[in-house]
């Protein structure tokens, strides 16, 4: 090997070595983890929906599956599959001792739920008569005392929790019965677990349209963004949350 080729070989080796070092350094370089989420990061406060005066409730149709008729919670269970522990008295039942869900699972349906905030409710914001109706056990329609009680609007009564505020505030005052009438279309999934068609919901609060064929973006998380996970039929779930929310006259029609 002549001197010129020898020098070129050394230079090439040095360049190659330096290139390898740079690649190795890039592979080992650490980047920061995503910043942790807080609940406040997904709260929307304005514009507050206008207030409207609601109408009167309706009774169950003849072809409905009655989930609560004022007598017992035989159609419900806790999250361990045990009998629902919520207290039943005077034709209503009161939230307490953990979430409850229907034993039967559903996909597309019409749902009717009547609920009441205690007349002597105290507190403010999310601490005032809080509960929720979960469609297929994972998509929450918020229950809250939103009568003269402002909070983040994607967490007020009739919101798709932490996603979509209601079009208007149709809340009755504490001590009076509120009605949710829900039309729900279950999602259809692709093989990779993403939505082919997302879940959609129309909600009437006390007879007033507050969600109009609204797309549900995924699970309704308290902290963090919606998640999409493939699933089949699911139960109606009622959330236990401090507030002593009462329920009555719950029925569903499969579509």
- Taking only the tens place, the pLDDT of each residue in 63-77 is 999 999 999 999 999
Percent of the chain with pLDDT over 90: 71
In the prediction, which pLDDT does 11 show?
54
Pick 58 or 189 by higher pLDDT: 189
Residue 238 vs residues 58, 133, 139, 214: alpha-carbon distances, Å: 21, 5, 11, 21
In the prediction, which pLDDT does 191 show?
95
Is pLDDT of 101 > 60?
Answer: yes
pTM to 2 decimal places:
0.82
SS3 246: strand
Classify residue 68 as exposed, middle or buried by CB count within 10 Å of its CB (0-12, 13-18, 19+).
Answer: buried
Is pLDDT of 159 > 70?
Answer: yes
Reference 178, options 156, 152, 153; nearest CA is 156
Q: Across residues 2-25, what is the average pLDDT?
A: 55
Residue 173 and residue 147 in contact, taking contact as beta carbons nearer than 8 Å: yes
In the prediction, which pLDDT does 201 show?
98
The total number of residues shown for the chain amounts to 255
Question: Please, what is the end-to-end C-alpha distance for the chain in angstroms?
Answer: 85
Q: For residues 199 and 214, what is the distance between their CA atoms, to the nearest angstrom?
A: 8
Give per-residue pLDDT as tens, 205-252: 999 999 999 999 999 999 999 999 999 999 999 999 877 899 999 999
Residue 108 and residue 210 in contact, taking contact as beta carbons nearer than 8 Å: no
Residue 239 and residue 96 in contact, taking contact as beta carbons nearer than 8 Å: no
Q: For residues 214 and 161, what is the distance between their CA atoms, to the nearest angstrom?
A: 12
Is pLDDT of 21 > 60?
Answer: no
In the prediction, which pLDDT does 55 show?
53
Q: For residues 184 and 64, what is the distance between their CA atoms, to the nearest angstrom?
A: 15
Q: For residues 142 and 164, what is the distance between their CA atoms, to the nearest angstrom?
A: 10
28's enclosing H/E stretch is: helix 3-28
Q: For residues 94 and 88, what is the distance between their CA atoms, to the nearest angstrom?
A: 7
SS3 138: coil
């Amino acid at each position: 090997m002549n001197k010129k080729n020898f020098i070129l070989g050394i230079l090439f080796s040095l360049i190659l070595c330096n290139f390898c070092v740079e690649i190795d350094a890039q592979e080992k370089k650490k980047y920061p983890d995503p910043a942790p989420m807080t609940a406040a990061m997904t709260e929307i406060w304005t514009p507050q929906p206008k207030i409207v005066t609601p109408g009167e409730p309706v009774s169950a149709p003849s072809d409905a599956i009655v989930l609560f008729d004022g007598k017992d919670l035989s159609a419900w269970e806790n999250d361990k599959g045990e009998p629902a522990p919520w207290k039943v008295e005077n034709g209503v039942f009161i939230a307490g001792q953990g979430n409850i869900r229907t034993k039967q699972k559903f996909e597309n349906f019409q749902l009717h739920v009547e609920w009441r905030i205690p007349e002597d409710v105290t507190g403010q914001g999310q601490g005032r008569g809080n509960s929720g109706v979960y469609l297929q056990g994972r998509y929450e329609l918020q229950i809250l005392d939103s009568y003269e009680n402002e909070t983040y609007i994607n967490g007020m009564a009739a919101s798709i929790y932490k996603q979509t505020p209601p079009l208007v505030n149709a809340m009755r005052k504490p001590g009076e019965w509120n009605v949710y009438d829900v039309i729900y279309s279950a999602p259809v999934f692709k093989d990779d677990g993403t939505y082919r068609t997302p879940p959609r919901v129309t909600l009437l609060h006390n007879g007033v349209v507050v969600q109009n064929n609204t797309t549900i973006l995924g699970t309704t998380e308290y902290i963090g963004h919606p998640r999409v996970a493939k699933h089949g039929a699911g139960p109606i779930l009622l959330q236990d949350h401090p507030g002593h929310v009462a329920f009555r006259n719950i029925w569903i029609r499969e579509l």
